[in-house]
Amino acid sequence: MTRVPSLYSSQSLALRYFTLSVALFGVMIVFGLIAATKYIHPGFLAQPLPFSMAKIMHIDVLVLWLLTAFMGSLFWLLPSEFKRDLVGMRAANVVFWLFCITIAAVAATFLFVQYGPGTDKTLWLVNQGRKYVEEPRWAAIVVAIGIAVFVYNIVGTAIAVKRITGVTWVIILNLIPLFGLYMLAFPAMTNMAVDQYWWWWLVHFWVEATWEVLIGSIVALVLMRVMNTSRNVVETWLYIEVALVLATGVLGIGHHYFWMGAPKYWLGIGGFFSALEPLPLLGMVIHAVYDAGEHKMTNQPAFYWTMLEAFGNFIGAGVWGFMITLPQINLFAHGTQWTASHGHLAFWGAYGCGVIAVIYLAVQEAGGYAQIGGRAWKWAFGLLNVGMYGMGGSLLIAGMAQAFYERAIGGSTFNAFVAAQQTPWFVEGIWMRWVFGLLFAAGYAILASNLIAISRRSRVAAAAPATLAVEGAGTR
């Protein structure tokens, strides 16, 4: 029988963030498919939307759907850690709507204005030019204020309550660098090498340090809820993972400093420390498998997505990242589709799967369901993952063709660059990425409709609990 629990106000806001996040995930896929089609037919939509703008939309929206889902996850999970609602919820709600307006305005700017002259006005109104965080300066200021309010929601609550759990401590300490690094979206440097040097701090220390710690903490909270894992176990593992992530990831940044004008010593430092980066990710797999064997799960989709997060993080970031991280190999793989293959599998494994797990947990808890049943979530799970690992495999083949034919055999000349893109390996790889992209999109459609169906059913049950109670939610 469905029991609809009353929610904390931060949890109602979390559901709004999840809705926004799932919608943005869809937008991201549309632009990914457009960009993938352009690889096959360069003239496709060339006039209104050049490749570069389609790609900016794809990857900026990627950052947005993950960040909004992270915010939703903490708004959903933290009240039970604090045993109370979060503070400053009125401001947090205003921030949500500000974000919606800003995202819409920036998307309109990218789609219809696109470029500007190399002036300050362009930086402020059109594009700051930093990959993944291209939003114009005015929008970046709105984002910074919004994140500052978010930090206040959490830190302010922590100050208000006397006792803070270990996981919450990790989350709070981690929010400081996570927020601080975003400041690197702002400076406009004229020396390309210096500019790249600092820009990598933002990208690398987000995805290979602060976001890893954040998702580790989120997964720890999910494991306790879904499998009743003991707090001692998850906290101990979390501390080990955090220590290892920082020990390997900080100097691991050197793997981006090989060929962009930074001093030569980065070749050794970057190679050594980034080769160790898979270790914490392996720890997460062991942790997840260990817990899975011990306990009963109360939310099947959340369980499967959490397990895949652990394995996918290890495979996409750890194994795929390791393949291209030694300078001797990176010399050939740098900037090819091999990198894109790693980028897709890593973002998906480490973060995409993790936030989908939390969203399933949230719709279950919001509806008061004992379990999420049915076939739809399994189809979504299957199609999304066959699609993603298919795309990753296709790009790997295309990227290896580039590494061998363009770099190793062709000596990195422009002619070799063009010739490599005409090899059957590359051409077929790019086609297969498109086909698997369609499967991925189909998986997304099922995922979104499944989540909507589950939430709708709980709303119906809330309206008429006695007559319309649904047994075993999401039985579709």
Binding site for ligand HEM (CB under 6 A): 29, 32-33, 35-36, 39, 55, 58-59, 62, 131, 207-208, 255-256, 274, 277-278, 317-318, 321-322, 324-325, 330, 334-335, 339-340, 342-344, 346-348, 350, 352, 437, 440-441
Q: Cβ 223 to ligand HEM, closest distance in Å?
A: 19
Is residue 421 within 8 A of residue 374, CB to CB? The reply is no
Q: What tokens appear for 60 in the block?
A: 């900026």
Residue 157, contacted partner among Fe ion, ligand HEM, none, CB below 5-8 A by kind: none
How far apart, in whole angstroms, are the C-alpha atoms of residue 316 and residue 294? Answer: 26
How far apart, in whole angstroms, are the C-alpha atoms of residue 465 and residue 352? Answer: 34
Residue 347, contacted partner among ligand HEM, Fe ion, none, CB below 5-8 A by kind: ligand HEM
How far apart, in whole angstroms, are the C-alpha atoms of residue 14 and residue 359? Answer: 9
| C-beta nearest to Fe ion: residue | 204
Closer by beta carbon to Fe ion, 168 or else 325: 325
Cα angle 274, 280, 281; round to 5: 90
Cα dihedral across residues 355, 360, 364, 370: positive or negative = negative
Q: Cβ 204 to Fe ion, closest distance in Å?
A: 4
How far apart, in whole angstroms, are the C-alpha atoms of residue 308 and residue 349? Answer: 7
| C-beta nearest to ligand HEM: residue | 321
Residue 335, contacted partner among ligand HEM, Fe ion, none, CB below 5-8 A by kind: ligand HEM
Is residue 155 within 8 A of residue 145, CB to CB? The reply is no
Q: Cβ 175 to ligand HEM, closest distance in Å?
A: 18
Closer by beta carbon to ligand HEM, 125 or else 260: 260
| DSSP 8-class letter at 129 | -
How far apart, in whole angstroms, are the C-alpha atoms of residue 296 and residue 302? Answer: 13
Q: Cβ 37 to ligand HEM, closest distance in Å?
A: 8
- For 225-271, where are the E strands, in sequence order? none
Closer by beta carbon to ligand HEM, 69 or else 297: 69
Longest dimension (CA), the chain: 73
Stretch that binds Fe ion, among 143-151, 203-211, 363-371, 418-426 (CB under 5 A): 203-211
Residue 204 within binding range of Fe ion, rule CB under 5 A:
yes
Stretch that binds Fe ion, among 6-14, 208-216, 265-273, 300-308 (CB under 5 A): 208-216
Q: Cβ 108 to ligand HEM, closest distance in Å?
A: 22
How far apart, in whole angstroms, are the C-alpha atoms of residue 191 and residue 209? Answer: 26
Nearest partner of 209 among 176, 241, 250, 168, judged by Cα? 250
Residue 231, contacted partner among Fe ion, ligand HEM, none, CB below 5-8 A by kind: none
Closer by beta carbon to ligand HEM, 89 or else 279: 279
Closer by beta carbon to ligand HEM, 234 or else 324: 324
Q: What tokens appear for 443 in the block?
A: 């998986």
Q: Cβ 56 to ligand HEM, closest distance in Å?
A: 10
Residue 38 within binding range of Fe ion, rule CB under 5 A:
no
Closer by beta carbon to ligand HEM, 163 or else 264: 264
Closer by beta carbon to ligand HEM, 340 or else 370: 340
Stretch that binds Fe ion, among 155-163, 200-208, 307-315, 404-412 (CB under 5 A): 200-208
Q: What tokens appear for 459 in the block?
A: 């709303």
Residue 342 within binding range of Fe ion, rule CB under 5 A:
no
Q: Cβ 467 to ligand HEM, closest distance in Å?
A: 41
Does residue 319 come out as left (phi exceeding 0), alpha (psi in the -120 to 50 range) or beta? alpha
**Angstrom distances, CA of residue 97 to CA of 20, 79, 142, 188:** 10, 22, 11, 29
Which backbone phi and psi does 167 adopt, to 5 degrees?
-60, -40
Closer by beta carbon to Fe ion, 208 or else 212: 208
